Amino acid sequence: MMFSGLYRASWLVICCWFLAGCTENEKQDMEKSVAASTPIKNAEPITITAAGDIMLGSTFPNTTRMPPEDGSRLLDPVAPLFQAADIAFANLEGPLIDEGVSGKCGKSGNCFAFKMPTRYGKHLKNAGLDVLSVANNHANDFGEAGRLSTRKTLDEVGILHAGGDRQSFATTFKEIKGKKVAFIGFAHNNVAPNVNELEAARQLVQEADAKADLVVVSFHGGAEGSGNTRVPNRTEIFFGEARGNLPLFSKTVIDAGADLVLGHGPHVLRGMEVYKDRLIAYSLGNFATYGWFQLAGATAETMVLDVKLDTDGKFLGGKIHPFVLVGRGMLTKDKSNSAISTLRRLSKLDFPNTMPVITSDGTVSPK
């Protein structure tokens, strides 16, 4: 409607000037009409607040690893940060479903298969999360039923989801401050756009960029564990799976139009770099993962990352909020700031010429 009004007003001015002739006052009135019909783009920056893997406890194969107070308080320490953001994002590591046995494990519990109760959807919403990636290697732990239940649960609580079932659910859009922001989720498995398929990734980003003002790409990739904090410039192989050449993937999607790249999957923090004025965070680490993992040292370090983008997607700056996972997975503010030190060290090791400036208080800025 806005475009058609602008078109009509502009056409009237053209006709007046070149065909029929107008008085000066009539020309001025019509020029004002054109100006009034022209949409004004909000120049205010957008802050995206991001975190890594969320798995709030699994009822499979039994309930012995479920969190206290039915998980209702797990995200309390970070809720103010999510709620203050323009858009809050994280990776949902596993399905939201109440019934079923994992085909991944059969009746055995000797594997990692996650099943969060659907009632936990409200915990995610109450914490302030707006968009979740469902593109990861646990999204299919309970098959198509788990994927359907996850999408249904998130839809019901009003959380957008990106990265499911290949093309059909790859991209979602969030409108904020007069801008449309696209989120695309990638992983290394066959139920999400694949981090190894660069041409398909390029096409998805280009399609999203044509529809949105800003494009955020999320990927679940890379080898896992405390021995894999570095970002190699090659395809990573883990458990026999190709888990992406992540520097190549990240730069490919930025070349195609992405404005921010957020990584997760290794269960540890990894370094950050700036490419073409766009920030790449290679791994946001474990975040709220309760009951299943041995959490100590690198796997217990985590953070919430604020990223401020201008209207064209340029990285303006950000903030690292350090946390640590205590015990079986209780999020706790980290007064030692170890996550900040880790990110500075890893970024300097892997990206000495392209890393952002990271100060001791967690402020992040382009060079």
pLDDT in tens, 162-211: 998 767 789 999 999 999 999 999 999 888 899 999 999 999 999 999 99
Q: What's the confidence (pLDDT) of residue 292?
A: 85
Tell how far CA 264 is from the center of its chain: 9
Tell me the pLDDT tens digit for each residue of 223-262: 999 999 999 999 999 999 999 999 999 999 999 999 999 9
Q: What is the model's pTM?
A: 0.88
What is the set of domains in the chain, with CATH numbers?
Answer: 2-37 (no CATH), 46-365 (3.60.21.10)
**Does the pLDDT of residue 106 top 80, yes or no?**
no
Residue 201 region by backbone torsions, left for phi larger than 0, else alpha for psi between -120 and 50, else beta: alpha
How far apart are alpha carbons 224 and 65 in whole angstroms? 22
Rounded to whole angstroms, the Cα distance separating 79 from 85 reads 10
DSSP 3-state of 247: helix
Between 29 and 102, whose confidence is greater?
A: 102
**What is the tens place of the pLDDT at every residue in 116-155?**
999 999 999 999 999 999 999 899 999 999 999 999 999 9
- Segment 294-327, tens digit of pLDDT: 899 999 999 999 999 999 999 999 999 999 999 9
How far apart are alpha carbons 350 and 78 in whole angstroms? Answer: 29
